[in-house]
Amino acid sequence: MDWLRASAVQQGRAIMAGLLDPIDQTEAYLEAARSHPDGKRIYARLTFSRARSEAIAAHDRAKAELRHGILDGVAISWKDNIDSGGTVTEAGSKLLEARVPRKDATVLARAARGGLVCLGKTQMSELAFSGLGLNPMTATPPNALDPALAPGGSSSGAAVSVALGLAAAAIGSDTGGSIRVPAAWNGLVGFKPTHDSVPEKGVVPLCRKFDVVGPIARNVEDCAELLAVMTGEKPVDLNDSGVGGLRLMVLDGLPFEDAGEGPVTAFQDAVDRLARAGAKVTHVATEWLDKAMDLSPQLFASEAYGIWRAQIEDAPELMWSPILERFRGGSGVSAPDYVAAWEQLIRIRRKWIKEVASVHDAVLLPTVPILPPDATRLMEDDDYYVHANLLTLRNTRIANLLGLPAVSLPTGYPGCGIMLMGHAGRDRHLLRVAAGAEAVLDAH
C-alpha cells in the first residue's frame, strides 16, 4: 500500500496496529516534499526539526501504548497564515516577509498536544484574498490534476500537498471559499466549520467576521477527526451514516448562472445518485439571496482593507496589483454603509432560518460553477482574472454570508465538487450527512 496517499485515519490505525512507524512515515513525507520538482511551490517551508521531534515522540507513545488519539503520529501540513512558534509565517505576503511568531496558533498547539506531526507551512494566495490560488509574489502551486491549471485558493498549497501525497491531510482557512475551492479543484474533501466554532487566535486575519480554520483531506472521516482535534471535542460518530430519508434541497437560480457545462453535469449526476440511494431531493429558489451576495463588496473588502490598510499603503509595491486593487476596493465603504450592510445580512440570515433551514438536512449546489482555468491566461489577462476570481468564489461565499458550515465532496468528475451546506452550529450533523453522501458518490 502507498501509505503516503492513505487517509489520515488509515495511517493512524496502522500506527496503532504497529504496521506503520511515525518516524519512517514522517521522513518519507519530508523527503517526498523536498525532492518533488514543485515542492517549493507547494510548501513555503518544511519544518524538519519540529516534524522529526514530534514523530519521535509519537513513536515512543505508540510503543508504550500511550497514544493520544487515532491521529497521534500522523503528519499533516499547515497553511502559512497559521502561526507556528519560531517558524516564519508570512501568509503568502511580502508585507510579512521574515515574520516569526513567538508561539503556535491555538489550533496548531492543540494538534501538537494531540500528537499530530507538523510537516511545514504551505503556500497560499496573498493574505488569503483570492480564490484562484495564484501568487506571483511568492509561489503558485500546480493544480494536482493538471499543472497548467489554477490550483484554487487561498489554501492552494494545503490542498495540493494532500492531493500529491506530500501530507496525510492539511489545515487551511476559509473566508469566502478558500478551503472548498482548492478541495474541489484537486479532488479532495474540504470542510468549512461554522464561524467561531474553531479558535482563531494565532491565525493571520483577512476578515475576522468570516474567517474560519478547517481541514482538507481525502475523506469526511479525516475531516471529522481533524475538526475534533482543533475544537477539543469528541469526534462525531460517523457509523451508520447514510442518505436514506435525508432531506436534501438543491439551491436553484444563482449557483447555476454562467456555470460551465462540466460542473453542472457533474452536480446533476451526483444529485441523481443521491436520490437513487434514498435521499428526498427537493428544489428551492430564493431570489432574496441575491441581496446577500450584493453586500459582499461592502462586507469583505472593507473589513480586509481596514485590517491591512496601514501595512499595504506603507509598501504597496510589495503586492501583486490584482490583490492590491481588491483590498483597496474596500476603501470607499463608509462606516454607516458597513453597519447597514451587516444589519441587512443579519435579516437575511434570519429569513434563511425561517424559510429554508427547517425543511432540509443539507442544501446542495456545485462547489465551483467553473472548472479550474488556465493559470497562464489568468496571469496575462487582468479582466479575465477578475471575472474568474469572482465567479470561482460565488457559490462558496453563500455559506460564509449565511454563517453556515459547508463541505465540498468530489463527484468523480475531475475538478468538480458538490457542496453541502448545513445549519449554523450543527457541524456534527453536517459531517454525518456528508459521510452518507460520500459513500454513495465514492461507489460511483
Asked, for residue 306, whether it belongs to a domain, the answer is no
CATH number for 366: 3.90.1300.10
pLDDT digits (tens, 9 = 90+) for 118-157: 999 999 999 999 999 999 999 999 999 999 999 999 999 9
Residue 45 banded pLDDT, cuts 50, 70, 90: very high
pLDDT digits (tens, 9 = 90+) for 261-277: 999 999 999 999 999 99
82/219 same-domain check:
yes
Asked, for residue 300, whether it belongs to a domain, the answer is no
Residue-range definition of the domain harbouring residue 44: 3-231
222/284 same-domain check:
no
Q: Which among 7, 77, 79, 156 is annotated as catalytic?
A: 79
What's the pLDDT score for residue 415? 98
pLDDT digits (tens, 9 = 90+) for 367-378: 999 999 999 999
Asked, for residue 20, whether it belongs to a domain, the answer is yes
* β-pair type (417-421, 406-410): antiparallel
Mean pLDDT confidence for 381-393: 95
What's the pLDDT score for residue 287? 85
Q: Which residue has the cell 457509523?
A: 239
Asked, for residue 299, whether it belongs to a domain, the answer is no
Residue 161 banded pLDDT, cuts 50, 70, 90: very high
Domain boundary among 204, 231, 258: 231
Q: Which among 7, 178, 241, 408 is annotated as catalytic?
A: 178
43/182 same-domain check:
yes
pLDDT digits (tens, 9 = 90+) for 78-113: 999 999 999 999 999 999 999 999 999 999 999 999
Q: What is the CA radius of gyration of the chain?
A: 20
Residue 444 banded pLDDT, cuts 50, 70, 90: low
150/256 same-domain check:
no
Asked, for residue 310, whether it belongs to a domain, the answer is no
70/199 same-domain check:
yes
Q: Directed axis angle between helix 261-276 and helix 427-443, to 10°?
A: 100
352/426 same-domain check:
yes
Catalytic annotation on 178?
yes
Our count of domains for the chain comes to 2
Asked, for residue 40, whether it belongs to a domain, the answer is yes
b/e per residue 95-108 (b: at least 16 CB within 10 A) = bbeeeebeebbbbb
Domain boundary among 201, 231, 261: 231
Query: Is the predicted pLDDT of residue 317 greater than 70, yes or no?
Result: yes
282/194 same-domain check:
no
123/85 same-domain check:
yes
| Bridge partners, 117 (sequence order) | 75
Q: What is the pTM of this model?
A: 0.98
DSSP per-residue string spanning 69-108: STTTT-EEEEETTB-BTTB---TT-GGGTT---SS--HHH
222/355 same-domain check:
no
Catalytic annotation on 49?
no
Asked, for residue 376, whether it belongs to a domain, the answer is yes
Asked, for residue 161, whether it belongs to a domain, the answer is yes
Q: Which among 154, 155, 156, 296 is annotated as catalytic?
A: 154
394/264 same-domain check:
yes
CB 40 within 8 Å of CB 139: yes
168 burial via Cβ count (<10 Å: 0-12, 13-18, 19+): buried
Catalytic annotation on 79?
yes
Mean pLDDT confidence for 422-426: 97
Mean pLDDT confidence for 240-269: 97
- The DSSP output letter for 234 is P
pLDDT digits (tens, 9 = 90+) for 281-291: 999 988 889 99
Angle at 262 (CA atoms; ends 281, 256), nearest 5 degrees: 55
What's the pLDDT score for residue 443? 66
194/264 same-domain check:
no
What's the pLDDT score for residue 286? 87
Q: How many CB atoms lie within 10 A of CB 212?
A: 23
Residue 358 banded pLDDT, cuts 50, 70, 90: confident
Cα–Cα distance for residue pair 156/163, rounded to 1 Å: 11
Cis peptide leading into residue 155 (ω within 30°):
no
Tally of residues, the chain: 444
407/267 same-domain check:
yes
